[in-house]
Structure 1
Amino acid sequence: MAIHRHTLAGVTHEFHGLVDLLAKASPRRSGDELAGCAAASDSERAAAQWALADVPLAAFLTEALVPYESDEVTRLILDGHDAAAFAPIAHLTVGGLRDHLLERAAAPDPGLGALAPGLTPEMVAAVGKIMRNQDLIAVSRALTVTSSFRSTIGLPGTLATRLQPNHPVDDPRGVAAALLDGLLMGCGDAVLGINPVSDSPHAVADLLRLLDDVRARFEIPTQTCVLTHVTTTIDLIERGAPVDLVFQSVAGTEGANRAFGVDLAVLREGNEAGRSLGRGTVGENVMYFETGQGSALSSGAHLGTGGRPVDQQTLEARAYAVARAFDPLLVNTVVGFIGPEYLYDGKQIVRAGLEDLFCGKLLGLPMGVDVCYTNHAEADQDDMDTLLTLLVAAGTAFVITVPGADDVMLGYQSLSFHDALYARSIGNLRPAPEFEEWLRTQGMADADGRVLPVDVGASPLRVLGGAS
């Protein structure tokens, strides 16, 4: 384990190994302070960032932050590393990679995404720690990552949305009302996705049939998902339920994934089961993953080499390595959902959202963000407006939208359907092309993809409105 040193203002700071160095170099956040791994002062943080900039990228291939022998995520990362893709940047330091990314983003270079197989999540997390918000935005915007099922996600000039029609008791009338509201606002091209109150197979199957009936009846070119546990979805596939996407929350260590009740083998089984149905029309990406900074700490599975806590941003980036192994349609960080114990206020949530988008896209994922916060965080909707606007500039693939920005089932604040219209307007962005064409044929959007006022009584969707 190398000792890293940097002298700042006459004081020499020492950092014991990459685990300690990465944690101390992280921008301030409450989760790292809770874990006991954060820098003790701004001076120590700055010294760690200077020292981190001088670390060769190759060091991340020889010093595992979480032990190889006891963690299957580490084995996935190192065993799957693409040496050929890494070769053009193998001589660089973390600081050199920052310069390289910014130079190629300024061009912009369409080949920037080719680096993804050669980058480990630890490298990506490291370079993110020495970048300002504008650096994260510039590089994220230069990256294009696409995926597809019935609609195509991540194309330049587009912003997709998950329409999240959650209901406190899974009432089909309430779900239908939220679906109608969101569809009339042009939302839902990423997925019509419900968080169910009950994880029982019977309740989940009922919701799946409701969503599939709406999608099929109105011939909507999107995909549906009930965000239940992957094993429940596998069971429902075997029973013939109309499953489009296979969902699972994932994290950056084997222990944290075990706390979610999964491992890589179960995820592999879910991916294979979803693809076996062949329900996609323009692609076959069937997995949907959600992540969030702090998930490993919340399950006590955040310790790395030598028993030292690994910082939450690095662990979040490792979760993206899990996700990319299964070629997902959608990945999103629920950035402020886990609570102020991990991201205390609006400033920390905004920074984390930009970090997560940057890390996910640089690792080759069709990355989205749930722009959100819990009611006991030091944040408000103005902070979410700021983050959404920055994410539009950074080229997020999709965001999550709920009625009135208030998810009354999960008890947190996200974005409204109107917020999605704002985001598309200021960014000159359109829905996914297949979904935009559907909106036009329904008389719900003009030739430029702008949503139009609709007479519900004259729309084919009036049947859905009647169900509410």
Structure 2
Amino acid sequence: MPYSTAVNGHCFQFANLRVLMAKASQRRAADELAGLATDSEIERAAAQRCLAEVTLQRFLEEPLIDPECDEVSRLILERHDAQAFAPVAGLSVGEFRDWLLTGQTDLTALAPGLTPEMVAAVSKIMRNQDLIAVARRCRVVSRFRNTLGLPGRLSTRLQPNHPTDDPRGIAASILDGLLYGSGDAVIGINPATDSLDNVRALLEMLDGIIQRYAIPTQACVLAHVTTTMELMRRGAPVDLVFQSIAGTEAANRSFGVDLALLREAKAMADAQRRGSIGSQLMYFETGQGSALSAGAHHGVDAQTCEARAYAVAREFDPLLVNSVVGFIGPEYLYDGKQIIRAGLEDHFCGKLLGLPMGCDICYTNHAEADQDDMDTLLTLLGVAGCHFVMGVPGADDVMLAYQSTSFHDALYLRDALGLRPAPEFEAWLENQGIFDNNRLAGRRDASRLLGQFRGELTA
């Protein structure tokens, strides 16, 4: 079905909803690379104006990717909750934006009635402040060994990566992060090698630290899901099951996964019963451009493909979902402006769909971005109610070779916005002498933990 609108006496036509969505997107290097981007700002404005008049119902009638050839499209349509959708079923995209900004309704109940394409569409006609204002009203709480996402809380993933998976180097980074109050979302290692023996050794190390010091958090080694499944079969201590996911069946296949495999992995992890206060145990990472990089985007723009990945995540009731926003590189998000916009879009779309959204606020060294851009996005996401951010030693991941956020960046954000860690983790920090009334008490006051941890560093 073609779409058209007139601007200043000139008629703009868009062949179908997929084309209209791409043309209405904010400027994005990925869409330019894919040949989907608009030719001018005037055409972008015309597309946004036209998109605002499209009804939300239309996204159910005109799937962007044919469900017959894509299991993610089938999942989206099969899981759509018509009753939850009813309050907004008669609205256009533009009217939906206005409805969201009134701030009068509990958005939690709405989430099952929304599809990724609907939330992507409305995000395309919103300013940054709109994305922030709505996202901060979406409350999503998740639990495993602590409670994440409560009002007034900001959590962190302690990311102690090491180029050779040296246990002493990892332990030193973990200690450093704990002494800055980092790690309540997860202590998560990207392994340098995905071998079964190596990943098992890392899992056992993390489990030993968490159990020995009674830390109310969860561990994860971000290996491929099939590696994690095999280790569960062998009795390894697996808390969270990790996998990178994307918004199309073909893109997920390029990651070596499909929905059936993820369901099997979740069932295996559920049977472990390692959570103490909850059973949400899946951890997903996503990123704009992943479907395009796999040649599996079906002509759909990068931001909408990203939102579709959240339908996959939502199917598995995850503890954590993390948009690794600038990791793929400037071919997909060229500069700080594009990274900031993408981070706000991803967070908004994920939260509106009912997900516990975090963000790896990051960039590669060849992108036109710097740490000031990351400070800006960090602050904006804090205001928007982001679940969690990364804690990387010095903000420089020496294994993955990219720039992220540091332990002290999380301290800045908590202090500036009056935010606190997860309540169970905060109590542990106070008990260890690391925090005093939500502020660092000083490392000398944490001498007990330092003394106990010395063995980890000298083993």
Tell me, yes or no, whether TM beats 0.5. Answer: yes
Alignment partner of 1:132 is 2:119: no
SS at match of 2:69: coil
Does structure 1 conserve the Cα–Cα contact (< 8 Å) formed by 2:71 and 2:249? yes
Q: Which residue of 2 aligns with 1:326?
A: 316
Q: Corresponding residue for 1:462?
A: 451
On the 8 A contact 2:391/2:405 being kept in 1, the answer is: yes
How far apart are 1:452 and its partner, in Å? 1.7
The equivalences for 1:15-414 within 5 A come to: 15-104=14-103, 107=104, 109=105, 111-303=106-298, 309-414=299-404
| CA distance in 1: counterparts of 2:253 and 2:132, whole angstroms | 33
The whole-number CA distance in structure 2 between the counterparts of 1:460 and 1:410 is 29
- Aligned position for 1:10: 9
User: What is the CA–CA distance in structure 1 between the aligned matches of 2:53 and 2:305, rounded to whole Å?
Assistant: 21
d(CA) in 1 for partners of 2:446 and 2:25? Answer: 54
Shift of residue 465, structure 1, vs aligned partner: 3.7
Whether the 8 Å CA contact 2:432–2:449 is kept in 1: the answer is: yes
Asked if structure 1 preserves the Cα contact closer than 8 Å seen for 2:396 and 2:402, the reply is: yes
Query: Which AA in structure 2 matches 1:220?
Result: I
1:10 CA drift (Å): 1.9
Match of residue 440 from structure 2? 451
Where does structure 2 lack aligned partners over 5 or more consecutive residues? none
Is 1:288–1:331's contact at 8 Å kept on the other side of the alignment? yes
Q: Root-mean-square deviation (CA), in Å?
A: 0.9
Partner of 1:306: none
SS at match of 1:373: coil
AA aligned opposite 1:337 = F
Q: In 1, Cα distance between the equivalents of 2:137 and 2:450?
A: 38
State the shift of 1:83 in Å: 0.5
The amino acid of 2:69's aligned partner reads: S
Large movers: runs of 4+ above 3 Å: none
Q: Percent identity?
A: 66
Deviation at 1:466, TM superposition (A): 4.3
Displacement, 1:401? 1.1
| Residue aligned with 1:209, SS | helix
Deviations 1:317-373 (A, max 9, x none): 000000000000000100000100000000000000000000000000000000000
Gaps of 5+ in 1: 304-308
**Post-superposition CA distance 1:392-449 (Å, at most 9, x none):** 1100000011000000000000001000100101110000001001011111111x32
User: Does the Cα contact within 8 Å between 1:102 and 1:138 map onto a contact in 2?
Assistant: yes
Q: Whole-Å Cα distance in 1 between the matches of residues 449 and 409 of structure 2?
A: 25
The alignment's TM-score, normalised by the length of structure 2, stands at 0.98
CA separation in 1, counterparts of 2:154 and 2:453? 25
Distance 2:325 2:76 in 1: 23
In 2, Cα distance between the equivalents of 1:403 and 1:242?
Answer: 25
Q: In the TM superposition, what is the alpha-carbon distance from 1:284 to its structure 2 partner?
A: 0.3
1:123 to partner: Cα distance: 0.2
**Could you tell me how far apart the structure 1 residues matched to 2:288 and 2:190 are?**
20
Quick one: distance in 1 between partners of 2:416 and 2:316? 33
| 1:78-117 deviation per Cα after TM superposition (whole angstroms, max 9, x unaligned) | 011000001111000000110000002xx4x4x2221100
Aligned-partner Cα distance in 1 for 2:346–2:439: 29
Provide the secondary structure at the position in 2 that maps to 1:460. helix
CA distance in 1, matches of 2:86, 2:368: 44
With structure 1 as the length reference, what TM-score do the two structures score?
Answer: 0.97
How far does residue 454 in structure 1 lie from its aligned partner after superposition?
1.9
Confirm or deny: 8 A CA contact 1:176 1:465 kept in the other structure. no
**Per-residue deviation, 1:451:** 2.4
Write the deviation string for residues 205-227 of structure 1: whole angstroms up to 9, x where unpaired: 00000111110110000000000
Cα pair 1:430 1:450 within 8 Å, conserved: no
1:417 aligns with 2:407: yes
Q: Is the 8 A contact 1:140 1:358 kept in 2?
A: yes
User: Alignment partner of 1:14: what SS?
Assistant: strand
CA distance in 1, matches of 2:219, 2:344: 27
Residues 434 and 445, structure 2, Cα contact 8 Å, conserved in 1: no
Structure 2: how far apart are the matches of 1:465 and 1:456?
16
Amino acid of the structure 1 residue aligned with 2:452: V
Distance 1:456 1:294 in 2: 45
* In structure 1, distance between residues paired with 2:297 and 2:266: 26
The amino acid across from 2:440 in the alignment is: V
